[in-house]
Amino acid sequence: MQSAQLTEEQNAILRSRPTVEDRNVSDHAYTPAENVMSIAESAEAQPAIRLRGLVKRFGSLTAVDGLDLEVPYGTCVGLLGPNGAGKSTTMKALTAQVIPDEGELEVLGYQLPEDSKQARAAMGVVPQLDNLDVALTVEQNLLVFAHLYRVPAGERKAAIERALQIANLLDRRTSKVDQLSGGMRRRLLIARALLHQPRLLLLDEPTVGLDPQVRQELWALIDLLRSQGVSILMSTHYIEEAERLCDTVTIMSHGKAVAVGPPQSLIREHAGPDALEVYGPPLRLRELEELARQRGWRTRRTGTSIAILQSNGDTADLDGERRVTNLEDVFVLLTGEEIE
């Protein structure tokens, strides 16, 4: 259903993308370390990203506090947490723009920060902050990054065309970036990160600040990339985004991983099958919270209502709306914080 939102051209170009299996070294002659692919493939059993005990302090603030994280090849992993949880610091550590104080980092088989340049040559990064060259056209932006990602001269033109098709920007190639909409700019950022056909894509809050409709369009694109075998690590504070796109989710709070697993099993395990959402005046909600406490249920205040969780269906005596539980419930239960 999601891929219906992509154009025919996008689908065609993504389908024609080589899968992990039929790529070989010569396909990637332009990766600067010619052995990038062979290393990565011989290490297929290794994850695309492995972090062990990552710690990063900024003065007295500990931004990341002993984080473990794995992204197996071909999967999409979500880093979920509120602002300030340490997601962006973690993402920056993966491109060696943040040097950790402690811990081990391995990306595509390379140790960081020592060998980060090879790792960067084989991965694509979509930043949270738009850093396109606004005075340049769409095509010029891609040309510059084809050079920075060392796509060889003979393949540059084809790489740019492919990127334009993926991003559905073929008819905007001569537009200056400052004439593009927010959604187009974000698509261009993704296209830019795919010029060198990376095996790993880092997406830092890929849909932050976009309209719901544009967001869905990007989800379809990301989902399709994953189905083509690209490993993806995505940080997000949108619960729905993580639920829809990620194979596994690491929930972060105060620099630590508080839960790891596939979204559905995290929900089953922590929030139970369903929640009862009860609306009422503040006094009634306080009474309910007290009742829930006595009966050993967990509750979550959401503005004008409270959600009763982990009740095992014993709520027949209460009036409310039954709804399926979601990752947001899990998050609040585990961290005691609301996510947005």
Partner 1 sequence: MITTSRRLHRLEGAALRGVMVREIVNFSSFWRSSTFSSTVDPTIYLLAFGFGFGALVSRVAGYRYIDFVGTGVVATTVLFSGAFPAMYGTFVKYTFQHTYDAILAAPVDTEELVTGEALWVGARTGVYGCVPMLVAMVFGLSPSWGMLLVPGIAALAGFGWACFGILIAAKANKIESFSYWQSGLLTPMFLVAGTFFPLTKLPNWAQVLGNVNPLFHCVQLVRHVVFGTESVADLGHLAFLLIFAFISWRLAIRFMERKLIL
Q: Angle at CA 15, nearest 5°, toward 37 and 27? A: 25
Among 4, 8, 59, 129, interactor with partner 1 by CB under 8 A: 129
Confirm or reject binding of residue 208 to partner 1 (CB under 8 A).
no
Binding flag, residue 47, partner 1 (CB under 8 A)? no
Distance CA 110, CA 105 (A): 8
Cβ nearer to partner 1, comparing 9 with 44: 44
Beta-carbon count within 10 A of 115 CB: 16
Does residue 150 interact with partner 1 by CB under 8 A? Answer: yes
144 is a site residue for partner 1 (CB under 8 A):
yes
Q: Is 317 exposed, middle or buried (0-12, 13-18, 19+ CB in 10 A)?
A: exposed
Stretch near partner 1 under the rule CB under 8 A, chosen from 128-136, 221-229, 254-262, 306-314: 128-136
Q: How many CB atoms lie within 10 A of CB 9?
A: 13
**77, 88, 192, 262 from 130: Cα distances, Å:** 22, 14, 12, 30
Q: Return the number of the residue (110 or 238) whose C-beta is nearest partner 1.
A: 110
Residue count, binding to partner 1 (CB under 8 A) = 42
With contacts defined by CB under 8 A, name the span among 3-11, 31-39, 73-81, 253-261 that binds partner 1.
31-39
Alpha carbons 33 and 106: distance in angstroms, whole number? 16
**Which region among 5-13, 143-151, 239-247, 294-302 touches partner 1 (by CB under 8 A)?**
143-151
255 binds partner 1 (CB under 8 A): no
Indicate the helix (H) or strand (E) that contains 298.
Answer: strand 298-302
Binding mask 55-84 for partner 1 (x = CB under 8 A): ---x--------------------------
Q: Measured between alpha carbons, how far is residue 24 from residues 10, 20, 45, 73 in Å?
A: 24, 9, 17, 16
As a whole number of angstroms, the distance between CA 201 and CA 198 comes to 7
Assess 35 for contact with partner 1 (CB under 8 A): yes
* Start-to-end C-alpha separation, the chain: 28
Query: How does 11-26 read in b/e, with b if 16+ C-beta sit within 10 Å?
Result: bebbeebeebeebeee
For the chain, give the longest Cα–Cα distance: 72
> What DSSP element (H or E) covers 120?
helix 116-121
Using the rule CB under 8 A, is 133 a contact of partner 1?
yes
Residue 7 or 35 with smaller CB distance to partner 1: 35
Question: Least distance in Å: CB of 226 to partner 1?
Answer: 20
CB count, 10 Å around CB of 151?
Answer: 22
Window contacting partner 1 (CB under 8 A); options: 115-123, 164-172, 292-300, 316-324: 115-123
Instruction: For partner 1, give the closer residue by CB, 60 or 131.
Output: 131
Task: Say whether residue 242 binds partner 1 (CB under 8 A).
Answer: no
- Closer CB to partner 1, 55 or 334, in the complex: 55
Q: Could you tell me which of 252, 152, 249, 242 has the C-alpha nearest to residue 197?
A: 152
Q: Which of 76, 77, 80, 96 binds partner 1 (CB under 8 A)?
A: 96
From 10, 75, 90, 118, residue interacting with partner 1 (rule: CB under 8 A): 118
Q: Which is nearer to partner 1, 33 or 210 (CB)?
A: 33
Residues contributing to the site for partner 1 (CB under 8 A): 32-36, 39, 43, 46, 58, 92, 95-99, 109-111, 114-115, 117-118, 120-121, 125, 127, 129-136, 140, 143-145, 147-150
